[in-house]
Chain A
């Protein structure tokens, strides 16, 4: 299994500012995943973060808006840049560990409100 500590748990931000979300994993993992979950919706993958290389972004998400760092195998950050109210959402980091097959473990989520 994997335990992920994600922070902040919530924030209210002014439009035009940026917020950096951090995730710390209790074990070394090759890939970390960043998701967005809008109210009443399921999870949408933003990007996959690999240590030592640039993150891979999904369609509709770009590095300038969601820069990601992955300095080592246990830590990653996602920045939501130049925020607008449309960025209000829950952001979750995730890792996949073995055990019962590729089981995904999630951080507690960051609830972002942009005003």
Chain B
């Protein structure tokens, strides 16, 4: 079983739609959680951290369920510019080692 698992997609949605991505992690001792965005032919960049209480940044909402070892990302009112691959990332150990999920590809169509 992979340490961090995501549905690879692609998710094809129309502009304005709401879309949700899920991610599960296997290490119950994981400490920090993130969503990264990777555009085609670009390096990954941090989209948002995920906190236990849940957090929102504009159209993006991230939630963490430690009991189920599950992380989600909700995107409301999708824009064409949201088309990218979204990577679920977990910091499983003390220190700076990050484990990346396989990524979920989102395509927003006009």
Contacts and interface: CB of A to CB of B under 8 A. Distances in A.
A60 interface: no
Interface string B34-78: 101000011111100100000000000000000000000000000
A84 interface: no
A104 B98 contact: yes
16 contacts: A31-B96, A41-B102, A42-B101, A42-B102, A43-B87, A48-B97, A92-B43, A101-B32, A102-B91, A102-B98, A104-B44, A104-B46, A104-B89, A106-B43, A106-B44, A108-B43
B-side interface size class: 20 to 34
Nearest first, the 8 A-B pairs at minimum CB distance are A96-B96, A106-B43, A42-B102, A43-B100, A42-B103, A42-B100, A102-B96, A103-B46
